[in-house]
Amino acid sequence: MEEKTYVDDIDRSIYDIKDVEDDDFRMQEGLTEEIIKKLSDEKDDPEWMREFRLESLKIYNELKVPDWGPSIEGLDMDHIATYVRPKSNMENTWENVPQDIKETFERLGIPQAERKSLAGVGAQYDSELVYHNVKDEVAEQGVIYTDMESAMKGEYADMVKEYFMKLVTPRDHKFAALHGAVWSGGSFVYVPKNTDVSIPLQSYFRLNAKGAGQFEHTLIIVDEGANLHFIEGCSAPKYNVANLHAGCVELYVKKNAKLRYSTIENWSKNMYNLNTKRAVVEEGGAVEWVSGSFGSHVGYLYPMSVLKGDNSRMEFTGVTFAGNGQNLDTGAKVVHIGKNTSSYMNTRSISKSGGISTFRSSVVVQKSATGAKSAVSCESLMLDSDSRSDTIPAMDIRTKDANIGHEAKIGSISDDAVFYLMSRGMSEEDARALIVSGFADNVSKELPLEYAVEMNNLIRLEMKGSIG
Amino acid sequence: MNNEKLLEVKDLHVSVGDKEILNGVNLEIGTNETHVLMGPNGTGKSTLGYAICGNPSYSVTGGDIIFDGESIVDMAVNERAKKGIFLSFQNPLEVPGVTLSAFIRSALEQKTGKRMKLWDFKKKLKETMELLSMDESYAERDLNVGFSGGEKKKAEILQLLMLEPKLAILDETDSGLDVDAVRTVSNGIKIFKERCEGSLLIITHSTKILEALTVDTTHIMENGIIVKEGDASLVEEVNATGFQELEI
């Protein structure tokens, strides 16, 4: 185990390098009405947002901490700084981003990926965006991709007001209320009707400040007949105090539109990741979630799809990797409302060195949703006997003609497969890493190449030192 | 014959769990020699193959295995592979997530410590696949996933030809193959001999796979020991009369 810690420290290095905290502004820790008002002042919120934040705070104080999942006792809101503003304006060229912050994103490969394979990039550092840019040809298509703050005050102010936290309301749960009160940063995307954005947009969220929270809001509207692939990446260096991520993602997929939302989450292992993601899909539309969860100390994450329109559909492809000290509670939810709607969830979870991985699925078919089809398939791989893996499916079917399937498998790495790979000269560590990568290939196959490579590197890193 | 010794198995005892399967096997293979290992089912032929490769489920409880002048019994599987021991599996495993091509390239890199230039690698792989009448598309498919029995065996021989080991142990590589496939595989083995001057230990029940080869020694195994040795004619004898009629 000594060995493992050592290797981990070396290999997480690109994620773990901490920048010296040189903030422009750091909110005092805790959560009070004064702090929320101060936040509104700092951010120069419009009036409706000032009220929205205060109302959310009230709701936050009324709601209970969830008692059905992993413990979040280690999270003390009185010791979380909810707003940390980096010393940088939002820039649209990397040259203008301060050197240390720019270097952080370079280590994470963001500017390189932007040059090679992305149509636009947003980069958030602590509570604010430091970079946002969209390629000219995509901007010319009328695609709007900007930070939430600019969107809220600019040309799209009405649209933001119409959609902001209407899908995930502050009443949803305690951390949605918290998000409503202290949100900062995130991205706004609008894809006009019948516009096909052929290359992906990406937002990357980096939390550098110790003992801080990140509460970015992502709002995406894909208008009728349009098509978008959005990628979200997240990471943070490890500290010995709790950090909190309570972001919120709201996706509006209009008639016959299609949105793919891919996430590679690699928060550090002192992070409480209490994130809420939801999509509403209109007639004939489709949402596809691709989700890799690797980091965090505790995670609650269940992207939800509301299949509102007839013939709308969702697919969820996910992998969760819980290592030592991690308790990751992940899954997906779907609500079928429209007729002939379909949902498909395909997930893999891996647990190792005492890690706990729980998969929850919830399938609801409402009375109106005749002809609904749903299939859930989850597979778990436990790498040793210290680890734990649970599957908790829930179904609420109100129609007679629904076609529902559920399949769950659980297993361990086959010694024969390890022997086979080793007999060709591969080390045991590499052989195991390869088998685990193969197990997670439902997700890596769905990711653009660079991200699939990154994901396999993450698996390799998690597998380091796991032998003996 | 009289070649330099490549492999010496000395009074080898091997157990799986509590059960002893090999009870004192002696066997020598010289460089560039072709040996055949025959015997009734369940006598320990595959066990010998696994023990030479170093499968950790098979524990050596006595005796020694010397390869290239060095005892290898305490060596890990991958170290033995790097020294030049190759086993063609009776049932090659399916490994999703890595393509046949990427797997071979990575194995080559492990062995040589160098990364072969992609273009050179692809060229050699393509040529070798042609020799084995393998469709090129298999190179980019996940290792053995959804391969037919025949294609799996060909993929093993492809790895053999690409990795060029000093000793290849072929564990019933011919079983379950149609006539044409056996011929292709047999031809592939012949090419291995010609190119690499490698040694072979062929575990088989049939003679078809041996058609393209010159057998130096035949070993008959029963109940965990070698009971008879002879030249190529012993293979014919076994096939004509069966094991029970053999004079031991």
Positions of E strands within B39-188: 59-67, 70-71, 85-88, 95-99, 142-143, 167-171
CA distance A285 to A222: 10
pLDDT of residue B224: 94
For residues B20-30, average pLDDT: 96
Best mutation target among A379, A424, A437, A456 (most B Cβ atoms within 10 Å) is A424
The ipTM of this complex is 0.94
Mean pLDDT score of chain B: 92
Q: How confident is the model at residue A6 (pLDDT cuts 50, 70, 90)?
A: very low
pLDDT tens, position by position, A292-350: 998 899 999 999 999 999 999 999 999 999 999 999 999 999 999 999 999 999 999 99
E-assigned strand segments in chain B:
5-16, 19-30, 34-38, 59-67, 70-71, 85-88, 95-99, 142-143, 167-171, 199-203, 217-222, 225-230
pLDDT at res. A12: 59
User: What's chain B's length in residues?
Assistant: 248
Residue scoring higher pLDDT (A22 or B156): B156
Q: Are A275 and A247 in contact (CB under 8 A)?
A: yes
Check if the beta carbon of residue A269 is closer than 8 Å to that of residue A245: no
Cβ–Cβ under 8 Å, residues A302 and A364: no
| Cβ pair A348, A319 in contact under 8 A | yes
Assigned token pair, A103? 């270097």
pLDDT tens for each residue of B164-179? 999 999 999 988 889 8
Cα separation, A228 vs A119, whole angstroms: 11
What pLDDT is attached to residue A465? 58
Q: Is B92 on the interface with A (CB under 8 A)?
A: yes
Q: Residues 6 or more apart from B210 whose CB is under 8 A from it? A: B36, B186, B202, B204, B232, B235
pLDDT of residue A466: 54
Contact at 8 Å (CB) between B65 and B51? yes
Decide: helix, strand or coil at residue B78: helix
Between CA B139 and CA A36 the distance in angstroms is 59
The C-alpha atoms of residue A112 and residue A3 are separated, in whole angstroms, by 33
Of B31, B9, B35, B28, nearest in space to B166 by CA:
B31
Closest CA to B51 of B16, B88, B91: B16
Q: Phi first, then psi: what are they for A14, rounded to 5°? A: -65, -25
How far apart, in whole angstroms, are the C-alpha atoms of residue B1 and residue B21? 30
**What pLDDT was estimated at residue B236?**
85
Please state, for a pLDDT cut of 90, what percent of chain A lies above it: 72
Average pLDDT, chain A: 91
Q: Is A444 in contact with B97 (Cβ distance < 8 A)?
A: yes
A125 touches B: beta carbon within 8 Å:
no
Backbone angles phi, psi at A462, to 5 degrees: -65, -30
Tokens in use for A247?
């972001």
For residue B244, what pLDDT band results from cuts at 50, 70 and 90?
Answer: confident
Size of interface A-B (CB pairs under 8 A): 71
Across the interface, of B81, B89, B93, the residue whose CB is closest to A425 is: B81
> What is the distance between the alpha carbons of residues A212 and A83, in angstroms, rounded to a whole number?
7
For residue A4, pLDDT beyond 70: no
Q: What is the DSSP letter of A260?
A: E
The partner residue sitting opposite B95, judged by closest CB among A421, A440, A444, is: A421
> What is the structure's pLDDT at B32?
93
CA–CA gap between residue A270 and residue A290 (Å, rounded): 24
Residue B96 is nearest to which of A424, A425, A438, comparing CB atoms?
Answer: A438
Cα gap B226→B218, rounded to integer Å? 10
DSSP state letter for A91: B
CATH topology of domain B5-241: Rossmann fold (3.40.50)
First-residue to last-residue Cα distance in chain A = 9
CA distance linking residue A184 with residue A207, whole number of Å = 12
**Kind and range of the H or E element at A337?**
none
At A442, list the tokens. Answer: 């439902």
Question: Helix, strand, or coil here: A68?
Answer: coil
pLDDT at res. B2: 47
Distance from C-alpha of A175 to C-alpha of A214, rounded to nearest angstrom = 12
Tokens at residue B63, please? Answer: 């005796």
Residue A227 and residue A156 in contact, taking contact as beta carbons nearer than 8 Å: no
Interval B104-119 mean pLDDT: 89
Residue A413 contacts B, CB cutoff 8 Å: no
- Taking 3-state DSSP, the helix, strand and coil percentages for chain A, each rounded to the nearest 5, stand at 30, 35, 35
Q: What is the pLDDT of residues A175-199, one digit of tens each?
A: 999 999 999 999 999 999 999 998 9
Residue A468 pLDDT more than 50?
no
pLDDT attached to residue A3: 34
Longest Cα pair distance anywhere in chain A, in angstroms?
Answer: 68
Question: What are the Cα distances from residue A109, in Å, to A15, A102, B186?
Answer: 11, 10, 49
* Beta carbons of B10 and B190 less than 8 angstroms apart: no
All residues of chain A having their beta carbon less than 8 Å from the beta carbon of residue B168 are none
Q: Does A437 reach chain B within 8 Å, measured CB to CB?
A: yes
8 Å CB contact of A426 and B53: no
Encode A334-359: b = buried (16+ Cβ within 10 Å), e = exposed: bbbbbbbbbbbbbbbbbbbbbbbbbb
* Mean pLDDT along residues A386-415: 94
Task: Tell me: pLDDT of A238 over 90.
Answer: no
> Which chain A residue lies closest to B82 (C-alpha atoms)?
A425
> What CA–CA distance (Å, rounded) separates A384 from A354?
8
Section A394-406 average pLDDT: 96
pLDDT, residue B3, reads 58
B220: number of Cβ within 10 Å: 23
Of A122, A129, A120, residue with least CA distance to A191: A120
Facing residues of A154 across strands?
A: none
Taking CA–CA distances from A443, the nearest residue in chain B reads B97
Does position A256 have pLDDT exceeding 90, yes or no?
A: yes
In this prediction, residue A9 carries a pLDDT of 34
What DSSP character marks residue B197?
-
Task: Report pLDDT for A164.
Answer: 98
Mean pLDDT of A382-386: 91
Q: Round to whole Å and give the CA distance between B112 and B19.
A: 38
Q: What is the pLDDT of residues A266-301, one digit of tens each?
A: 898 899 999 999 999 999 999 999 999 988 999 999
The tokens for A251 are 């996706």
Burial B114-138 (b: 16+ CB within 10 A, else e): eebeeeebeeebeebbeebebeeeb
Which of A416, A426, A439 lies nearest to residue B110, judging by beta carbons?
Answer: A426
Task: Tell me the residues of chain B between 133 and 162 that have a Cβ less than 8 Å away from chain A.
Answer: 142, 159
For β-strands A144-147 and A187-191, DSSP reports them as antiparallel
Alpha-carbon distance B213 to B219, whole Å? 16
The CA distances from residue A115 to A137, A144, A191, A277, in Å, are 14, 19, 21, 28
Greatest Cα-to-Cα distance within chain B, rounded to the nearest angstrom: 55
What is d(CA A455, CA A453) in angstroms, rounded to the nearest whole number?
5
Run of H or E including A228: strand A227-235
Residue keyed to tokens 């820039």: A91
A285/B211: higher pLDDT? A285
CA-CA distance, A371 to A365, in Å (whole number)? Answer: 10
- Entry pTM: 0.85
Note the pLDDT tens digit of each residue in B96-105. 878 999 999 9
Three-state DSSP class for A50?
helix
Say yes or no: B78 contacts chain A, CB-CB below 8 A: yes
Q: What average pLDDT does the segment B11-36 reach?
A: 96
pLDDT(A2) > 50: no
pLDDT of B123 strictly over 50: yes
In sequence order, which residues have a C-beta less than 8 Å from that of residue B85 and are 6 or more positions away? B52, B53, B67, B72, B165, B166, B167, B169
Domain boundaries, chain B: 5-241
CB contact under 8 A, B86 and A423: yes
Asked if A424's CB is within 8 angstroms of B103's CB, the reply is yes
| Total Cβ atoms within 10 A of residue B223 | 13
Question: What is the Cα B177 distance to its own chain's centre?
Answer: 16
CB contact A152 to B (< 8 Å): no
